[in-house]
Structure 1
Amino acid sequence: MESPAEILPGVIFYSYLSTERREKVCFWNHHTLILQVSGQFTLETSVQTISMNGGEMLLVGRNQLGTLTKTPAAGGPATGDPAGGGHYETIVISLQEDLMRRIALEEKLEAEQKYIGPPNLLIPSNEFLRGYFQSIVPYARNSGAAMTDEMGILKVKEGVKLLLLALPGLRNFLFDFSDPSKIDLEKFMLNNFHFNVPIKKFAQLTGRSLAAFKRDFLKTFGAPPRHWLQDKRLNEARHLIETKHVKPSAIYLDLGFESLSHFSHSFKKKFGIAPTSLVI
């Protein structure tokens, strides 16, 4: 069971979990700093798979789609796990663009060049970051320890400054406020077609208006987005069932279908047979 809570509304969040949970799709509008208190956090995107355990930090870049797996720690104390084992705890800090712009103005910070590194980064620990980590944990575990808006903003600013102290090159990561330029539509969609998100979200992620996305999509793939996505997902499903011998129940969520019945109905409509009939 998961118990999410907001430490600072819209900015700092806390999650406690006692059983494994896999979330099909998450979308990050803003850069996000994740503090892993206990358990294991795994992020899978089209280009990276990153795992971290208690005591580690991950910086997630904005405008991304990904799948999360949250795994509680084994019973008993765990190394780097301030709370001991047996559960999963994480603190999530949303580095919202308006606040990052404010920090940039106050601290006279700006990107020096275009960031070209990986979109998600494990942050090397140091004593300053460990101290920062520990200063937030009590607010997460003690619902009576209220964090005021002013305190919360100061904590975000502190976190940003410590990130830059640890990795000065993050200036280009954190303070590039340009909109995503038009990226290769074909490459992006072939890597991300399985994510079940609205068409307008795909448009945003490729740096296009919804109208431009639909126009470019039709030109690139010869079909409207919704039709192409359904067809691509079903063809991928048949390939996995016939060549990898996986069960439909094991893949329908990963291919963007909301329910097994919807997947089975769509599969039979396209291929004329039920997906289960192909399972060896």
Structure 2
Amino acid sequence: MTNPTEIIPGVIFYSYFSAQRKEKVGFFEHSTLVLQVSGQFTLETTSQKVSMKGGQMLLIRKNQLGEITKTPLEGQDYQTIIICLKDDLLRQVALEQQIDTRRKYTGSSNVLIPENDFLHGFFQSIIPYVRHSDEKITRDMGMLKVREAVQLLLYTLPELKDFLFDFSEPYKMDLEKFMLGNFHFNVPVEKFAQLTGRSLAGFKRDFQKVFNMSPRHWLQEKRLTEARHLIENKQRKPSSIYLELGFESLSHFSHSFKKKFGKAPTEVISTL
């Protein structure tokens, strides 16, 4: 069962799950603070795997692709609070406090935040709002909570200043390495371009040079080839892999697989 609540549209979210759920989150456009109320939250990117349980906080950096696994623990449901730290608010804070934003952040992309009395109090102050979402919190009060979160993060880990206030564009990275590590994420080509530090036109041009085909064609071929490998060599079921390989539906995956290999995924399984 799923019961997500959007306390302030685009800013503060509350989610609840009573069974394990794995999500191909895809693209984190904004830096995000996750407050874990109960259960276990696991984020996996190409470079990191981070888990936390009730009472812990995780700061996720913007411009990332990642997969989240949400797991209720014995005797408790899964509950989490998500605070979106958008650049427009962070720019306001930087201007008000005259924070230098010229330094580029080079540290970890996902940071577990150590608990202290101030953060614990903040954590507790958010919970009543999300548990009584029918009593609508005003946007102004919600934005004050987001500002409070930023101040407490800086107090707890001053080095997060560069994390939060780095407004530079992603640098132009190795396209082949990035795509081979992230092809399974179901995000638009425009997002892949952004994450590799390119315009859409530049991305398509460089992609053609590296892979000798268009991004959409390569993504389809790569995902289907990986699917066949998982089915034939790992004995994975089609129903368990189509989402993690970036396909939106099992029927679309099966149709594409048969078109490329001449057999439906289930027919490949039956011959093993």
TM-score range, shorter chain: over 0.9
User: What is residue 186 of structure 2 aligned with on the other side?
Assistant: 196
| 1:23-102 mapped onto 2 (5 Å cutoff) | 23-75=23-75, 85=76, 87-102=77-92
Instruction: Give, in whole Å, the separation in 2 of the partners of 1:219 and 1:11.
Output: 40
Out of 213, 216, 227, the residue aligned to residue 206 of structure 2 is 216
- Paired AA for residue 251 in structure 1: I
Deviation at 1:112, TM superposition (A): 6.2
Superposition pairs of residues 121-160 of structure 1, within 5 angstroms: 121-160=111-150
2-side partners of 1:69 and 1:92: how far apart?
A: 15
The answer to whether the Cα contact below 8 Å between 2:8 and 2:139 also exists between their aligned partners in 1 is yes
Could you tell me how far apart the structure 2 residues matched to 1:270 and 1:149 are? 51
Given that 1:112 and 1:171 are in contact with CA atoms closer than 8 Å, whether structure 2 keeps it comes out as: no
Q: Deviation at 1:120?
A: 0.9
Query: Shift of residue 232 of structure 1?
Result: 0.7
Q: Is 1:252 aligned to 2:242, yes or no? A: yes
Distance 1:149 1:68 in 2: 28
Does 2:12 correspond to 1:12? yes
Deviations along 1:164-213, one digit per CA (max 9) or x if unpaired, are 11111111110011111211111110010011111111111112111111
- 1:224-256 per-residue CA deviation (whole Å, 9 max, x = no partner) reads 001101111111112222222222222111111
In the alignment, the residues of structure 2 paired with residue 2 and residue 155 of structure 1 have an alpha-carbon distance, to the nearest angstrom, of 25
Q: Counterpart amino acid of 2:74?
A: A
Q: Does 1:226 align with 2:222?
A: no
Amino acid paired to 1:35 = L
State the SS of the aligned residue for 1:54.
coil
Shift of 1:9: 2.3
Contact 1:111 1:173 in 2 (8 A): no
Matched to 1:106, the amino acid is E
Q: In structure 1, how many angstroms separate the alpha carbons of the residues matched to 2:127 and 2:26?
A: 24
Deviation string, structure 1 residues 144-165 (Cα, Å, up to 9, x no partner) = 4432222212211111111111
Q: Distance in 1 between matches of 2:245 and 2:264?
A: 17
| Residue type of the alignment partner of 1:247 | K
Per the TM alignment, residue 14 of structure 1 is displaced from its structure 2 partner at its CA by 1.1
1:242 aligns with 2:222: no
181-190 or 242-251: which moved more?
A: 242-251
Structure 1, unmatched stretches of 5+, are 76-84
Q: Percent identity?
A: 66
Runs of 4+ residues over 3 Å off in structure 1: none
1:34 and 1:58 in contact (8 A); partners too: yes
Q: CA RMSD in A?
A: 1.5
Partner residue, 1:80? none
Q: What is the TM-score when the length of structure 2 is the normalising length?
A: 0.94
Give how far 1:18 is off: 1.9
Report the equivalent of 1:119.
Answer: 109
2:100 to 110, 121, 129: 110
Partner-residue secondary structure (3-state), 1:116:
coil
Is the Cα–Cα contact under 8 Å of residues 242 and 249 in structure 2 kept in the other structure?
A: yes
Query: C-alpha separation between the residues in 2 aligned to 1:54 and 1:236?
Result: 35
Q: Mean alpha-carbon deviation: is it higher for 108-117 or for 192-201?
A: 108-117
Greater Cα shift, 156-165 or 241-250: 241-250
Say whether the 8 Å CA contact 2:104–2:166 is kept in structure 1. Answer: yes
* TM-score under structure 1 length normalisation: 0.91
The answer to whether structure 1 residue 278 and structure 2 residue 268 are counterparts is yes
Q: Quick check: 2:36–2:80 contact (8 Å CA) kept in 1?
A: yes
Match of 1:180 in 2: 170
Q: 2:94·2:101 contact (CA, 8 Å) conserved in 1?
A: no
